[in-house]
């Protein structure tokens, strides 16, 4: 097929492959450093991808995020510290395995299961995305309005320990995107006569601030705390992994399918996928009593789930332009900058680009095996890189990256402002991810609402008249109804404000991966 | 630093009121009941309602105090280090243009690295390497117009 060969030519370009290898190594490093998250890896990469063609730019993001999610397992097993929150579900198990001298077996298992999970997620992406795009072609502003609302509501209420604070973060994100020229009437809003603000809040400096500067500040706070010495590594990485996974092949499949589905839901990402897969694995295990004692079964489920969720979360992002988590919010921002507005039209106008992205996803998950092997081998020296040296260097790249986006210090000012905001918010349990979701989805949310209102001549009922719009609308209202009902229930029973939401510890760190 | 929820509640209420006030001055969309002011007004309302709920929640736990510092923040050294990160970014905003990217970063980064407890020689080496690599990558390869400052015309 012509499109496929074009896509192959785009994806197998030597420059793209070079980008894949470099960003894979970079993602491995950032993911393996405790405290540096996958989103931070992507935040630091995006200013560089800004200067690339769409395919290498997306290749860099796909590869770095997949690698960082796997590499988060490495310090989990060696130090009992998750490298990224997506690995937090099973650090206890892998560390205990490590204490029994099975570090390399544990890491080899998570590596192979991660790659397999990633491939299952990609397969789902390749199958589901074009089919959904067919349906999405019939969507009008009514459907998109509800999709944006449903995505935003789920992101706030499902993934956050504290729906009220999550909702406030979302409001902050939406409020930030009202700064600048209004999309329908062209009125400048909240610009205070400032020319830089007329262009709106640029998304990348904002994201670098929220996800990197606030992490640096937090890192500096903990600069004095000592990290424990990593466990000694013994044994081969790939030896006896295959028989082990052979015994647990059903877990790989279950974890991957679950992870893909959870990733594809707007609002839930790799970290929640890992927690739920781990819980499901324990629930249906023949030996649930072994969980928590260094048992590999739940690890297999959870580690396949978090990597398959990375691919799964691209489904709504590519088809509808609705991000599922902070990572895909970045992806959507990058797609817009590249003039590849996400949505079903991309599948018609630029199918070769979409297929190239699919191919890169497959390559990234295959490259993960050798590079992951190297990262595990090099884990001890990597973990010895001192934070007191790393954090200032990261700071420099944040400043240059933010500067490069606006070619002026305005980007740096934005980065600093949002970095401080992000730090204060996280210190006070306000999740940060909804800000970025609001910032990305805000224009779509406002535009589809106003367009729909003009079309319906001011009637709200029109929002429920089309079948899909009606279903999505009812779903959104249901999410809100449940949250409000629980809130009122709590208010009446008089219990003081306690973290609620799903009972899994998923909520710990669910918002900054 | 943890503040009582009521503090945030009040800030959000003030923010919401300001947004509604400013938005009321936006021109209407001709022939349409909804225009540029709609979203800011709705968001302002959202801030006021949620801010109010947050105040209520904060009031209930007021016995816990209005502010609580993270134990790490109580060490004066940590606070200074954190402030220095912010000061470095502020200084970049103010002085990078007259001073130039390379000299500014080389000096600022060395100072920050020393402050964080690195030994002088490694600090200097890492600072110079980072500055040169970032200048080369962003300035030369990606053609970002990093300020040259006092080195204008040298390279």
Of A97-101, A183-187, A402-406, B57-61, minimum mean pLDDT range: A183-187
How many Å lie between the alpha carbon of B23 and the closest alpha carbon of chain A? Answer: 8
Please check the confidence at residue A432 and state whether its pLDDT lies above 50: yes
Q: Is A224 on the interface with B (CB under 8 A)?
A: yes
Cross-chain Cβ contact A420/B35 below 8 Å: no
Q: How many residues does chain B have?
A: 155
What pLDDT band is residue B152 in, cutting at 50, 70 and 90? Answer: low
Instruction: Tell me the average pLDDT across A145-151.
Output: 84
Strand segments, DSSP code E, in A65-139 are: none
Residue-level pLDDT at A347: 85
Instruction: Answer yes or no: are the C-beta atoms of A489 and B73 closer than 8 Å.
Output: no
Would you place residue A153 in the very low, low, confident or very high pLDDT band (cuts 50, 70, 90)?
confident
Which positions 26-65 of A are in contact with B (Cβ < 8 Å)?
48, 51
Listed in sequence order, the residues at least 6 apart from A420 whose beta carbon sits closer than 8 Å to its beta carbon are A209, A213, A214, A217, B86
**Are the beta carbons of B61 and A497 separated by less than 8 Å?**
yes
Binary contact (A224, B72; C-beta < 8 A): yes
**Which of B46, B131, B137 has the CB atom closest to A171's CB atom?**
B46
Residue A188: its chain B contacts at CB < 8 A?
Answer: none
* Mean pLDDT score, A387-410: 90
Q: Which of A178, A412, A427 sits opposite B89 (nearest CB)?
A: A412
- Distance between A291 CA and the closest CA of chain B, angstroms: 34
Residues A37, A81 contacting (CB under 8 angstroms): no
* Residues of A in Cβ contact (< 8 Å) with B13: none
The pLDDT value recorded for residue A382 is 82
Residue A404 at interface with chain B, using a CB cutoff of 8 Å: yes
Please check the confidence at residue A377 and state whether its pLDDT lies above 50. yes
Torsion of the alpha carbons at B43, B46, B47 and B52, rounded to the nearest 10: 170
pLDDT, tens only, A448-499:
888 888 888 777 788 888 888 888 888 888 888 888 888 788 777 765 444 4
CB atoms within 10 A of CB A497: 18
Spell out the alpha helix ranges (H) of chain B.
5-23, 38-60, 71-74, 76-99, 101-115, 120-134
Q: Report chain A's mean pLDDT, rounded to a whole number.
A: 84
Average predicted confidence (pLDDT) for chain B: 86
Is the pLDDT score of A503 beyond 70? no
What pLDDT is recorded for position A359? 92
Treating both helix axes as pointing N-terminal to C-terminal, what angle do A296-312 and A249-264 enclose, rounded to 10 degrees?
40
CA distance readout (Å), A468 to A135, A173, A283, A473: 10, 27, 35, 8
pLDDT tens-digit series, residues A306-363 = 999 989 998 888 888 888 778 888 888 888 888 777 888 888 888 888 899 999 999 9
Distances (CA, A) of B24 to A189, A447, B28, B49, B83: 11, 19, 9, 19, 38
**Considering CB atoms only, which of A164, A223, A419 is closest to B50?**
A164
Of all residues in chain B, the one with the smallest CA distance to A187 is B36
Query: In angstroms, rounded to a whole number, what is the distance separating the alpha carbons of residues A34 and A30?
Result: 8
pLDDT digits (tens, 9 = 90+) for B33-82: 777 888 889 999 999 999 999 998 888 877 777 777 777 777 778 888 89
Q: Where are the alpha helices (DSSP H) in A378-465?
A: 379-384, 387-406, 409-427, 433-456
pLDDT of A18 = 94
CB A166 within 8 A of CB A157: yes
Residue A152 has pLDDT above 70, yes or no: yes
| Rg of chain B over all Cα atoms, to the nearest angstrom | 24
Angle at A60 between CA A55 and CA A61, to 5 degrees: 100
- Between CA A454 and CA B32 the distance in angstroms is 7
Q: How do residues A7-23 score in pLDDT, each as one tens digit? A: 888 888 999 999 999 99
Residue A296 CA: distances (Å) to CA of A159, A244, A282? 26, 9, 11
The Cα–Cα gap between A331 and A327 comes to: 6
By Cβ distance, the residue of A222, A392, A396 closest to B116 is A392
Whether A72 shows a pLDDT value over 70: the answer reads yes
The pLDDT of residue A511: 38
> Percent of chain A scored above 70 by pLDDT?
95
A92-120: pLDDT as tens digits: 888 888 888 888 888 999 999 999 999 99
Ranking A32-36, A60-64, B104-108 by mean pLDDT, the lowest is A32-36
Query: Taking CB atoms and an 8 Å limit, are A453 and B92 in contact across chains?
Result: no
Q: What is the predicted pLDDT for the residue at A143?
A: 86
pLDDT tens profile A210-226: 989 998 998 888 877 77
Question: pLDDT for A260-275, tens place per residue?
Answer: 988 888 767 788 889 8
Which residues in chain A have their CB less than 8 angstroms from residue B12's CB? 168
Residue entry with tokens 């954190």:
B82
Determine whether the interchain pair A404/B138 forms a contact, defined as Cβ–Cβ distance below 8 Å: yes
Residues of B in contact with A419 (CB under 8 A): 89
CB contact under 8 A, A220 and B70: no
Please report which confidence band the pLDDT of residue B18 belongs to, taking 50, 70 and 90 as the band edges: very high
Q: What interface predicted TM-score (ipTM) does this complex get?
A: 0.92
């Amino acid at each position: 097929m012509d499109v496929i060969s074009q896509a192959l030519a785009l994806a197998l370009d030597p420059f793209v492959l070079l980008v894949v290898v470099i960003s894979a190594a970079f993602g491995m490093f950032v993911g393996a450093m405790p405290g540096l998250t996958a989103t931070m890896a992507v935040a630091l990469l995006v200013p560089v991808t800004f200067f690339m063609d769409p395919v290498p730019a997306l290749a860099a993001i796909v590869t770095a995020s997949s690698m960082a999610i796997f590499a988060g397992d490495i310090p989990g097993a060696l130090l009992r510290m998750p490298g990224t929150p997506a690995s937090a579900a099973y650090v206890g198990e892998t560390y205990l395995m490590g204490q029994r001298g099975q570090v390399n077996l544990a890491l080899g298992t998570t590596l192979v299961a991660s790659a397999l999970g990633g491939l299952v997620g990609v397969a789902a992406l390749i199958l589901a995305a074009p089919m959904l795009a067919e349906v999405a072609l019939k969507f009008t502003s009514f459907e998109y309005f509800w999709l944006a609302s449903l995505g935003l509501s789920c992101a706030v209420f499902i993934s956050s320990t504290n729906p009220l604070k999550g909702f406030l973060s979302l409001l902050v994100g939406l409020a930030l995107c009202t700064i600048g020229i209004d999309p329908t009437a062209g009125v400048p809003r909240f610009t205070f006569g400032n020319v830089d603000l007329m262009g709106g809040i640029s998304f990348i400096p904002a994201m670098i601030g929220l996800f990197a500067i606030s992490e640096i500040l937090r890192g500096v706070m903990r600069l004095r705390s000592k990290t424990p010495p990593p466990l000694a590594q013994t044994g081969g990485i790939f030896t006896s992994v295959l028989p082990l996974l052979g015994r647990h092949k059903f877990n790989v499949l279950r974890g991957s399918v679950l992870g893909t589905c959870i990733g594809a839901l707007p609002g839930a990402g790799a970290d929640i996928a890992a927690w739920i897969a781990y819980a499901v694995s324990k629930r249906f295990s023949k030996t649930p009593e072994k969980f928590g004692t260094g048992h590999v079964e739940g690890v297999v489920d959870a580690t396949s789930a978090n990597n398959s969720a990375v691919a799964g979360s691209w489904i709504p992002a590519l088809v509808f332009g609705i991000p599922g988590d902070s990572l895909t919010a970045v992806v959507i921002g990058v797609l817009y900058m590249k003039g590849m507005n996400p949505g079903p039209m991309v599948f018609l106008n630029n199918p070769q680009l979409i297929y190239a992205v699919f191919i890169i996803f497959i390559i990234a998950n295959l490259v993960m095996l050798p590079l992951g092997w190297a990262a595990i081998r090099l884990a001890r020296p990597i973990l010895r890189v001192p934070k007191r040296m790393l954090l200032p260097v990261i700071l420099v790249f944040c400043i240059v990256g933010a500067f490069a986006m606006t070619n002026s210090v305005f980007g740096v000012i934005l980065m600093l402002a949002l970095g401080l905001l992000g730090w204060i918010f996280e210190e006070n349990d306000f999740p940060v991810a909804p800000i970025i979701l609001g910032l990305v989805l805000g224009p779509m949310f406002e535009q589809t609402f106003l367009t729909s209102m003009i079309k319906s001549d001011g009637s709200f009922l029109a929002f429920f008249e089309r079948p899909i719009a009606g279903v999505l609308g009812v779903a959104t209202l249901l999410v809100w109804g449940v949250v409000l009902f629980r809130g009122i229930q709590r208010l009446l029973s008089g219990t003081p404000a306690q973290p609620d939401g799903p009972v899994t510890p998923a909520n710990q760190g669910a918002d900054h991966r | 630093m943890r503040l009582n929820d009521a503090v945030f509640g009040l800030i959000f209420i003030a923010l919401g009121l300001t947004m509604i006030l400013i938005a009321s001055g936006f021109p209407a969309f001709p022939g349409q009941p909804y225009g540029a002011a709609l979203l800011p007004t709705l968001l302002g309302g959202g801030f006021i309602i949620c801010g109010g709920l947050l105040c209520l929640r904060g009031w209930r736990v007021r016995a816990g105090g209005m502010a609580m510092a993270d134990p790490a923040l109580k060490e004066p050294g940590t606070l200074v280090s954190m402030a220095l990160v912010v000061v470095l970014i502020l200084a970049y905003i103010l002085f990078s243009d007259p001073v130039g990217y390379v000299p500014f970063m080389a000096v600022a980064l060395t100072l920050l690295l020393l402050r964080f407890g690195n030994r002088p020689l490694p600090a200097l080496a890492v600072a110079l390497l980072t500055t040169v690599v970032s200048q080369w990558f962003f300035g030369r390869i990606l053609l970002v117009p990093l300020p040259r400052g006092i080195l204008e015309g040298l390279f």
